[in-house]
Amino acid sequence: MTRIHNYYAGPAALPVEALEAANKELIEWAGTGMSVMETSHRSKEYDEVHNTTISLFKELIGLNDDWTVLLLQGGASTQFAMIPMNLLCDGRSADYILTGAWSQKALKEAKIAGTTRVAGTSEKDGVFLRIPKQDELDLDPNATYCHVTSNNTIFGTQWHVFPDTGNVPIVCDMSSDILSRKIDVSKFGLIYAGAQKNLGPSGVTLVAIRKDLLEKCNSGLYTMLSYKTHADKNSLYNTPPTFSIYMVGQVLKWLKGKGGVEAIEKENTEKAQMIYGTIKDNPSFFSTPIDPESGSHMNYVFRLPSEDLEKQFVAEGKDAGFVGLKGHRSVGGIRISAYNANGIDSVRDFVSFMKNFAQKNG
Ligand SMILES: *Cc1c(COP(=O)(O)O)cnc(C)c1O
């Protein structure tokens, strides 16, 4: 078996253990004589998958019963609209902190639904290379919520300390770093993530919402766009993406087996030290435009001395078994995405590829 070193940003690498578990059960699962994809979402066998996935997620991220977890469709991008539609209904406004393309998209939708304010931005000349400092923020103490993107997948920055928003709950897009590190959930009112970066395959979006906020949600919405609909039916109002949910369950079992969020955070920190360390140790060859305090521990953006060398790096990387090295089209350069499933051994191989390449071409 030859598994490639997969550094794509999303959909992204899955733990091989989760794929193997699914492979074993693909034709015949849970004594049903069929796969999970082929059975009713009302069956007791599927119900077990559904509820285990929800409870494992709550356990791993550290949510108690003050929270409801929803398994929805439409990606994080649909949440950009559902969040303000559901929450921004009491005449107050919502704060948005802009740290990249995804937060800009979230704000665009919120503006359609209600009143918003930009409470901070790190945009400069069209790019976002850092996370704003607390004293740069202009927070509204009466805001319904404050929206934050915890990890900026495209620019490669991450909030290492979430902003202090006082009593205003943080609504957080954690699509690209959910369950990669410990978080203090008491700061948050809603956490959401498309699964395809750090949780599983595409097709399902996790939304965790505090029950007190759920109760205040707009009740005049289209059925499928209302959080209350999905909460009342345990995300089984209509057919959920059963196979995606099953796969998220396999990934969560793998993560729990590894020692949970605490263990994976250690690995992610070590991976970050290796990659940023290699960039720092070769300053005449590698550089990163990212503010050192804001560097993501999931997505790594860096440059080589010329665009030609970057092209060569991507091509030789592919020959050496590393894919997904090309930077996002809006940023250029190199970006690699090393999520939970990208093991430390793979990253060790990658940094030695980096060093060899620099030596040969520097
Ligand atoms: C990928 C990504 C999204 C978009 O997710 P979809 O599920 O494709 O809608 C939103 N926010 C962040 C931070 C992302 O990385």
pLDDT tens-digit readout, 286-310: 999 999 999 999 999 999 999 999 9
- Pairing outcome for strands 205-210 and 67-72: antiparallel
Among candidate residues 180, 143, 145, 185, the one with its CA nearest the CA of residue 162: 185
CATH number of the CATH domain containing 133 = 3.40.640.10
Look up 138 and say whether it is catalytic: no
Q: Which of 159, 173, 254, 271 is catalytic?
A: 173
Mean pLDDT computed over 316-344: 95
Any domain includes 58: yes
Full residue range of the structural domain in which residue 122 is found? 16-257
SS3 call for 74: coil
Phi, psi of 93, rounded to the nearest 5 degrees: -115, 170
List ligand 1's pocket residues with C-beta within 6 A: 10, 75-77, 102, 149, 153, 173, 175-176, 194, 197
Specify whether 226 is located in the same domain as 91: yes
Specify whether 322 is located in the same domain as 225: no
Note if the bond before 11 is cis, omega within 30 degrees.
yes
Instruction: Name the band, by pLDDT with cuts 50, 70 and 90, for residue 1.
Output: low
Specify whether 32 is located in the same domain as 73: yes
Q: CA 284 → CA 224, 288, 292, 303, 314, distances in Å?
A: 54, 12, 17, 11, 19
Asked whether the beta carbons of 98 and 146 are under 8 A apart, the reply is no
Look up 197 and say whether it is catalytic: yes
Specify whether 267 is located in the same domain as 247: no
Specify whether 108 is located in the same domain as 187: yes
Specify whether 285 is located in the same domain as 250: no
Q: Which residue reads 């009593």 in tokens?
A: 167
Q: Can you give the pLDDT at residue 331?
A: 87
The number of folded domains in the chain is: 2
Report pLDDT digits (tens) over 127-140.
999 999 999 999 99
Look up 24 and say whether it is catalytic: no
Instruction: Name the band, by pLDDT with cuts 50, 70 and 90, for residue 194.
Output: very high
The β-bridge partners of 299 are 337
Report pLDDT digits (tens) over 222-254.
999 999 999 999 999 999 999 999 999 999 999
Pairwise CA distance, residues 276 & 15, whole Å: 24
Any domain includes 11: no
Question: Given 233, 257, 281, which residue is the final one in a domain?
Answer: 257
Ligand 1 midpoint to CA 357 (Å): 32
Specify whether 196 is located in the same domain as 285: no
Specify whether 99 is located in the same domain as 148: yes
Specify whether 149 is located in the same domain as 295: no
Ligand 1 midpoint to CA 100 (Å): 12
Any domain includes 2: no
Burial 84-115 (b: 16+ CB within 10 A, else e): bbbbbbeeebbbbbbbbbbbbebbebbeebbe
